[in-house]
């Protein structure tokens, strides 16, 4: 079943409504780099917040961490990234374009038909120099994953959090990979944001916990509105497992370009802690007081991309509908993800309506991300809010001046209810939490 929206429509909506812009656009852009605009930054914050809430806030067995992007180079030797984080690359001897060897059929350059070099391994880590001297000893890398910052802090966190295993450490932050073939909008970029959990468990319980986290993470996407039909689970074959993994599942999403990885959940065994113990000379084991034994924990790693998840939420929410002969584009985003929760729209820009509308806005904005819009016709303003996924619009009309009531319009059903201004905050909060939107009360109120 193909996805119903093509990527061009998503890219165009993102540009038009201020979700995502090409980076450095006035200079012609920079390949596969993107900037999040006013709507995009809210959506991105909400995706991260939803992850953090479910992984850290709502659990007593996971704590958070925020580690530096640049780390001691020894970390990457121990983790295997210096030796193994590579792609085979071939170069055209005529036009000098480089290609991933495994993405090329035949022995000719796809661009000009020229002869290709033998494949050589190309490391995907960004390299730079720390301090003023550009020499071998001052090389540092931009982290390609946030996970290693967690592993090297395992001892610190266990000691200071005073928690027992199983214990998770979660981190959200930027990662960098010098991908040879980035693309598909924000799906694969060289700079991106990771949401990673390292969940440390007793060896022997790892398979059980892998199953547990695969289900947890799958359900997270469904809970936030992604249709189950557009998700699938895929276990890695033995030949495609990363060098550190004992087992791995991908949660794939049906993106416009086809099924692609949304998140990986790997059983990393004791690879990382063992490697860091060996390379650093520090013992990284755990004393299990209940069992009376010491061991190197195994780790289960759900690793997701913020940008990639955001793209999946956008694609899944996108819809074009016809309402009373008029077309509308709408994002059926889960209210918790929607960039704007409520829009305050006076019926028109009228000097009598404005003071009351501003008063309503002031009442709502400390509690919800609120938009105020009094330009153009009310119909066009509704369309604009639909297109950015705003779940509720509050309209102030001339009747409001008399009865101190306003109309709330719901994005998906287009149903409307009329509520007293004093109750507005309470009603919006309840509706955002999922309370039913019962339009019959509108008429009940009006008949009074």
92 vs 273, beta carbon nearer Zn ion: 92
112 vs 257, beta carbon nearer Zn ion: 112
Q: CA-to-CA distance for 99 and 88, rounded, in angstroms?
A: 9
- Shortest gap between Cβ of 113 and Zn ion (angstroms)? 7
18, 37, 114, 119: residue in contact with Zn ion (rule CB under 5 A): 114
Per CB under 5 A, 110 contacts Zn ion: no
20, 43, 78, 92: residue in contact with Zn ion (rule CB under 5 A): 92
Radius of gyration of the chain (CA): 26
**C-alpha atoms less than 13 angstroms from C-alpha of 120 in its C-beta half-sphere:** 6
**C-alpha atoms less than 13 angstroms from C-alpha of 431 in its C-beta half-sphere:** 27
112 vs 291, beta carbon nearer Zn ion: 112
Per CB under 5 A, 90 contacts Zn ion: no
- Shortest gap between Cβ of 159 and Zn ion (angstroms)? 56
Per CB under 5 A, 109 contacts Zn ion: yes
Can you read off the two tokens belonging to residue 1? 């079943």
Q: Of 149, 140, 144, 150, which Cα lies nearest the Cα of 84?
A: 144
**Quick check: 128 and 253 in contact, CB under 8 A?**
no
Q: Which range, of 58-66, 90-98, 322-330, 368-376, touches Zn ion by CB under 5 A?
A: 90-98
Q: CA-to-CA distance for 290 and 306, rounded, in angstroms?
A: 38
- Shortest gap between Cβ of 105 and Zn ion (angstroms)? 15
Query: In the beta sheet, which residues pair with residue 108?
Result: 115
Per CB under 5 A, 116 contacts Zn ion: no
- Shortest gap between Cβ of 215 and Zn ion (angstroms)? 47
- Shortest gap between Cβ of 92 and Zn ion (angstroms)? 3
- Shortest gap between Cβ of 95 and Zn ion (angstroms)? 3
14 vs 92, beta carbon nearer Zn ion: 92
DSSP designation for 85: S
84, 111, 117, 156: residue in contact with Zn ion (rule CB under 5 A): 111
18 vs 114, beta carbon nearer Zn ion: 114
**Quick check: 139 and 129 in contact, CB under 8 A?**
yes
Q: How many residues bind Zn ion (CB under 5 A)?
A: 7
User: How are beta strands 86-91 and 120-123 bridged, if at all?
Assistant: antiparallel
Per CB under 5 A, 112 contacts Zn ion: yes
Q: Which range, of 49-57, 91-99, 177-185, 343-351, touches Zn ion by CB under 5 A?
A: 91-99
Alpha helices in 85-241 (DSSP H): 147-151, 154-161, 206-223
Write the CB contacts of 365 (distance below 8 Å, at least 6 apart in sequence): none
Write the CB contacts of 213 (distance below 8 Å, at least 6 apart in sequence): 197, 199, 265, 300, 302
73 vs 114, beta carbon nearer Zn ion: 114
Q: Which range, of 108-116, 146-154, 196-204, 409-417, touches Zn ion by CB under 5 A?
A: 108-116
Q: How large is the angle between the packed helices 38-52 and 306-317, nearest 10 degrees? A: 110
Q: Using CB under 5 A as the criterion, which residues of the chain lie in contact with Zn ion when the complex forms?
A: 92, 94-95, 109, 111-112, 114
């Amino acid at each position: 079943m193909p996805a119903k929206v093509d990527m061009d429509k998503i890219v165009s909506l993102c540009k038009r409504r201020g979700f995502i812009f090409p980076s450095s656009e006035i200079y012609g852009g920079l390949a596969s780099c993107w900037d999040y605009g006013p709507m995009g930054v809210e959506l991105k914050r909400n995706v991260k917040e939803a992850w953090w809430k479910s992984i850290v806030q709502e659990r007593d067995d996971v704590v958070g961490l925020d580690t530096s992007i640049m780390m001691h180079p020894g970390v990457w030797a121990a983790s295997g990234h210096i030796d193994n984080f590579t792609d085979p690359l071939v170069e055209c001897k005529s036009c000098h374009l480089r290609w991933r060897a495994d993405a090329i059929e035949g022995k000719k350059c796809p661009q000009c038909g020229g002869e290709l070099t033998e494949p050589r391994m190309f490391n995907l880590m960004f390299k730079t120099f720390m301090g003023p001297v550009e020499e071998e000893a001052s090389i540092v890398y931009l982290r390609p994953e946030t996970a290693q910052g967690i592993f090297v802090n395992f001892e610190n966190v266990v000691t200071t959090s005073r928690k027992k295993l199983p214990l998770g450490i979660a981190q959200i932050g930027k990662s960098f990979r010098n991908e040879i073939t980035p693309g598909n909008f924000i799906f694969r970029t060289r700079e991106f944001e990771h949401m990673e959990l390292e969940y440390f468990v007793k060896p022997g319980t790892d398979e059980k916990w892998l199953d547990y986290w695969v289900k947890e993470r799958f359900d997270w996407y469904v809970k936030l509105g992604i249709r189950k039909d557009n998700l699938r689970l895929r276990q890695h074959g033995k030949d495609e497992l990363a060098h550190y993994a004992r087992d791995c599942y991908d949660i794939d999403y049906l993106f416009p370009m086809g099924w692609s990885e949304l998140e990986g959940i790997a059983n990393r065994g004791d690879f990382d802690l063992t490697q860091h113990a060996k390379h650093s000379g520090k013992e990284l084991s755990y004393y299990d007081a209940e069992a009376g034994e010491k061991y190197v924990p195994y780790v289960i790693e759900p690793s997701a991309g913020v940008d990639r998840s955001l793209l999946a939420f956008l694609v899944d929410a996108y819809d074009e509908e016809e309402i009373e002969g008029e077309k509308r584009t709408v994002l059926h985003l889960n209210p918790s993800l929607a960039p704007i929760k409520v829009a305050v729209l006076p019926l028109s820009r009228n000097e009598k309506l404005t003071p009351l509308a501003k008063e309503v806005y002031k009442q709502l904005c400390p509690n919800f991300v609120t938009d105020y819009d009094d330009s153009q016709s009310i119909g066009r303003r509704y369309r604009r809010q639909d297109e950015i996924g705003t779940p509720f619009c509050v309209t102030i009309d001339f009747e409001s001046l008399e009865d101190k009531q306003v109309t709330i319009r719901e994005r998906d059903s287009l149903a409307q209810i009329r509520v007293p201004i004093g109750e507005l905050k309470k009603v919006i909060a309840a509706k955002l939490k999922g309370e039913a939107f019962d339009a019959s009360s509108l008429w009940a109120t009006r008949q009074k």
